[in-house]
Amino acid sequence: MRPFIAVVDYGIGNLRSAEKALCHVGADARLVSHAADVDRADGVVLPGVGNFGRCSEALSGSGLWDATLGAARADRPFLGICVGMQLLYEGSDESPGAPGFGIFAGKVGLLPEGVRRPQMQWNLLRPHPLMAPASRRNRLLRGFEADAWAYFVHSYAPPIGPETVATCDYGGDVAAAVEQGDIWATQFHPEKSSSVGLGILANFVAACAA
C-alpha cells in the first residue's frame, strides 16, 4: 500500500515538483492545506524556498504551523527541504526575529565569506565524520554514502551539529543533510537531484511505509 505523504502547502516552495517526485518513487503524495490532513498522514514533507522570514510568516499565516510542528515532534517520518530544513532550527540571521521550530539548536547563518552567494550548483555530499553509526541509523542517505551529487540553491545554511549526517564543501564544510530519529532534512533539493535525489526520497517513502 502506498503511504500517504502530506506535502505542506503554505504557498511557498517548489511544492508540485516535490509532490510529483514522491509519487514517482511510490508514495501517495498530496499537497495539503488543512491541519487534519497533516495529522493523519504517514509522513510529512515541508518544502521551502527563498527567504526564511517569509517562509516562517507564510507557514504561520496558513494555519498549518502547529500541525507541522506537531508532526516534526511526533514519532513518524518528517522531511524538511531547503528552507524547510532551516525552519527546524531556532531562527536565521537572514530574518532576525522570525521564529523557527527550535527542533535543533542554533541559528541559520550566511554562507562563508569568499564564495558566490547563492550556491547554485551541483555539489558532492560527504558523510559527516562526527556521525556516530552506533547511535544513528542514517536511513536518509542509505545507498548514497559515496560519490553522491546533489543540487543546491541557497545563501544560508544551518550550523553543523550532532544532527548533521552530511556536509558539502563550499568555502568550508556546510551542513547539507540532518537526521535525528524520524526527522530528516536536506539543504539541497532532492526533487532536482536526479537519481540520487529520487533514491533519497525513496528512502523516505520506505520509512513512511514501515
| Placement of cell 514517482 in the chain | 24
Q: Where are the alpha helices (DSSP H) in the chain?
A: 15-24, 35-40, 52-61, 65-73, 83-86, 194-209
Q: Which of 82, 94, 179, 208 is catalytic?
A: 82
Our answer to whether residue 208 is catalytic in this structure is no
Our answer to whether residue 191 is catalytic in this structure is yes
Q: Which of 19, 94, 179, 191 is catalytic?
A: 191
- How far from 74 is each of 32, 77, 78, CA to CA, in Å? 18, 8, 9
C-alpha span between 82 and 147 (Å, rounded): 21
CB 12 within 8 A of CB 50: yes
Our answer to whether residue 82 is catalytic in this structure is yes
Q: Which of 128, 163, 179, 189 is catalytic?
A: 189
Q: Which residues are marked as active site?
A: 82, 189, 191
